[in-house]
Amino acid sequence: MGHTSESTWVPSVTLLVGVGNEGISALLLGADGRVRGDADMVFEGQPVHPSGAVRHTRQSLSLALHEVEPEVERIVIAGPAASGSLAAMAPDRQVVVAWLIARPDDAKAVVFGEFFRESGGWKFTGVGKGYASGLAELVTAYGVEVAEEEPVVETAAAASANGPVPLTSVVKVPMHAPSQATPGGAGAPGSTGWAGTPGASGTPGASGSAGGKGRKSWADAVGEPVAPDPSVFPPAAREYRLLEGWEFGPVFEPFTITGRGSDVITTPARVPAGPVLFEVAHQSGGHFAVVPLDRRNKEGASLFNTTVPDYRGSTVTPAPEDRPLRLRLIGENDWVARVKPVAAARRLERTMAGYGDEALLHLGGAADLRVDFKGSPGGGGSIALWVHEVTGQTELTHVGRTLALNTSDRILQTVPLPPGPALLLLIAEGPWSLTVRELGF
C-alpha cells in the first residue's frame, strides 16, 4: 500500500493537490476525526465546500489552507485505488509534497494522505490505507452514513473505475468522543509538538519559501502532463477576499518561510509596500525575537521578544516602498514565518481566545471589550492593547491610535472600543480571551 511518510510542513497557501486520477476527494474533519455533515465532503459531484476553502477542479483539489475554518483539524485526501504519486503544488508552482503511492493488492479505495494542523501551521503525512469495499466503506469510517437503499457494493465497484460514490443520500452521524491520535495524524487538541526532519523538503530547517532545488515538476509528480488550472490560483484581490469596509494594507499572495536558529529573511517582490501581517511560530522554549532591519541593515525595535515555550504570534509591520522587507529572527529551534495581507488577520467577533501577541480586525460598531488575561505561566506577565482607527490611513501612525489597555498580572477588565474599521494590536505574555459587546447606537 505504499509507505508512511514522515510529516512535513507545508505553506499555508492555496495548494493544488492531485493523485493522477479523476476520483480524488477531500474529507474535512473536526477534532474528533469525523465530518460534521455532508457539506464536509468535496468531490466531483459536490465540487465546492461552503467555506470556499476546498474545491474540486478537473482531476485535482484546490486547498486554500489559510481559509480553512478553525473547527477543521484535518483534511483527508482519498479516492479510487491507483498507483502513482500524490503531489501538492504551491502558487509559485513549486511542488511542496510528492509522495509515492504503491498499487494496492485488494483495495478499491485509498486514503492517500492528510493535511493536519500543528503549532499554528499545516503539515502533510502520507497514509496509504486501503478499503476493500470501496469509497462507501472509506467515507463511513470518517462519519459519513450512506443510505442503506443505495447499492453500496456495486456503486463502489463502479467508482473504482469511474469516480467517487455519488454521496447524495449522506446524512450527519452523531459525533463521538475524540479517539487517541493515530500515527501521522493530527495530535490531540492542544498538542504543540513539531515533528519532522530538519532540512527535509517542507520541514523546518529548509531555506526559502517551501521550495528548493531538485524538486520534481508538477507533471513528473502526478505521472502525467497535467497543466495547472489557472482558476485554482486566482488574482490576489480574489485570493484574499477583502472584508467589507476594510481597505487598510495591500493585497498580495502570502509568503511563507521555515528555518532553524537565528537567521535573516528577505521577502520577495510580490510583497508590496505598506502595512502587512507578520505571523511567526517558534518551537519549544528559549529566547526568541524578531527584529526588522532598516535601509542601513541595522536593527530597529523588536516585533517579538519572548521566552514563551512553543510561541505563536502575529503583528502588523510596514513593508518598505523602495526595498524588500528584511527581518532578523533570533532563536534556538525550528520556526515558521509568514507574511500576509492585513485582511487575513482574525476578525474580532463574539468571544475569542488566544495566547501571546496577535493582530485582530474590528469591523463592527462602537463596543465594550471584556478582556480576561490569565497572566504568564510563571506568574505575573503583562498585557497591552493598541487600537488603530484605519479609515483614510495607509500606514500605522499616531493618528487615530489609542492605548486602550496597559497593565500587569491577571486582569478581568472592560475597555471601550470605537466603531470600526480598526486594527487591534494585542501584546500579551500569556493566555487571554476577548468578548466584544456592540452598543447598538
Are 406 and 270 found together in one domain?
Answer: no
Same domain, 274 and 209: no
* DSSP type of residue 181: P
Query: What confidence score (pLDDT) does residue 83 get?
Result: 57
CA 40 remoteness from chain centre:
17
Same domain, 412 and 339: no
> Looking at the structure, do residues 326 and 354 belong to the same domain, yes or no?
no
Provide mean pLDDT across the span 429-438: 89
Are 119 and 312 spatial neighbours (Cβ–Cβ below 8 Å)? yes
Per residue in 57-111, pLDDT (tens digit) is 777 899 999 999 999 999 999 888 865 678 888 887 788 888 877 656 678 888 8
pTM: 0.50
Average pLDDT score over residue span 39-48:
86
Residues 6+ apart with CB under 8 A from 426: 354, 357, 358, 359, 360, 383, 384, 385, 432, 434
Positive or negative, the Cα torsion across 26, 32, 36, 38? Answer: positive
Mean of the pLDDT values across residues 320-332?
Answer: 93
Among 222, 256, 279, residue at a domain's last position: 222
User: Are residue 69 and residue 213 in the same domain, yes or no?
Assistant: yes
- Find the domain containing 315 and state its range: 242-344
CA distances (Å), origin 342, targets 242, 274, 354? 10, 10, 18
Sorting pLDDT into bands at 50, 70 and 90, what band is 50? confident
Q: What confidence tens digit (pLDDT) does each residue in 232-278 have?
A: 333 333 344 445 568 899 888 888 888 889 999 999 988 999 999 99
166 shares its domain with 26: yes
- Apex 51 CA angle, 241 and 271, nearest 5: 30
Residue 229 counted as domain residue? no
In a domain, 246, yes or no: yes
**312 shares its domain with 358:** no
Same domain, 67 and 132: yes
- 319 phi and psi, to 5 degrees? -90, 130
Total of domains in the chain: 3
Q: How far apart are the first and last CA of the chain?
A: 62
Euclidean distance between CA atoms 228 and 226, whole angstroms = 6
Question: Is 159 contained in some domain?
Answer: yes
Residue 133 lies in a domain: yes
Q: What is the pLDDT of residue 4?
A: 39
**72 domain residue, yes or no:** yes
**pLDDT above 60 for 430:** yes
How far apart are the C-alpha atoms of 333 and 311, rounded to whole Å?
A: 11
44 and 106 belong to one structural domain? yes
260 plus 119 within the same structural domain: no
Domain final position from 306, 328, 344? 344
Cell of 401: 491610535
Res. 319 pLDDT band, cuts 50 70 90: very high
In a domain, 33, yes or no: yes
Q: Output the domain CATH number for residue 283.
A: 2.60.120.380
Which segments of 141-284 does DSSP mark as H helices, in order?
152-162, 218-222, 236-239
What mean pLDDT comes out for the span 192-213?
29
Q: Are residues 60 and 103 in the same domain?
A: yes
Asked if residue 182 belongs to a domain, the reply is no
A 10 A CB-CB count for 51 gives 15
Question: Are 398 and 312 contained in the same domain?
Answer: no
Residue 191 lies in a domain: no
